[in-house]
Each structure stands twice: as C-alpha cells, then as structure tokens.
Amino acid sequence: MTSKTVLEIAVCTIADRPSAEEARRAAMAAVKAYPGFVSWRALTSVEQGDMIADLVEWADKESADAAAAKVQADPAFAPYMAAITGVTLMQHFKTENVI
C-alpha cells in the first residue's frame, strides 16, 4: 500500500527539553490550521537526552513547502525555532509500503 501524502522528518537537538517541549506544543497547536496539514507526531529520543524528532504528515509536497515558508513568520513557531540548537535531518518522504 502506498500513500500520496508526504512525511516530513526533522531530527533536531535542543538545549532545554522542558522549554522545547512547551514550545513544540504551541507550534503543534498552530500548525493544525495550516492548509494541507494531516498529522504531527512529536518524538523524543530514548538514548540521547538532547535529541527530538518531528514526523509531520502533509497532504502533498506543495503544502509542506508552503508551511515551511509560513513558519518563518508565524510567531507561534518562534519559541520552538529558538529552542532548537541543531538540525541533523530535515527531509520529505513518500510512503512506498506499509505493513
């Protein structure tokens, strides 16, 4: 089974987990209204205390790209962006198979 949606995977490092998690919750609340938004899974590393990951599903790549531009000016995202100290991976993927 394949899907036409696009998965955005962002793996980041943070300095202060409680602050980053609070900021991430605010960003998640804001993105719900973005066109093409489907879902957001917020992940925290079990092994590395300063690593988090976001798995965001978009209706299509165009929606993901539009959201990427929009978050730069959205005040709801500023605290979350400030909490991120480094980005290890930021890519978009399509689903080929699901079991």
Closest of 74, 67, 4 to residue 54, by C-alpha: 67
C-alpha 81, offset from chain centre: 11
Sign of CA dihedral 71, 73, 75, 78: positive
| Alpha carbon 99 to chain centroid, angstroms | 23
pLDDT category at 90 given cuts 50, 70, 90 is very high
Give pLDDT tens digits for 50-76: 999 999 999 999 999 999 999 999 999
pLDDT at 82: 97
Task: Give the global pTM.
Answer: 0.92
97 in helix, strand or coil? coil
Taking only the tens place, the pLDDT of each residue in 14-50 is 999 999 999 999 999 999 999 999 999 999 999 999 9
What domains can you pick out in the chain, each with its CATH number?
3-93 (3.30.70.100)
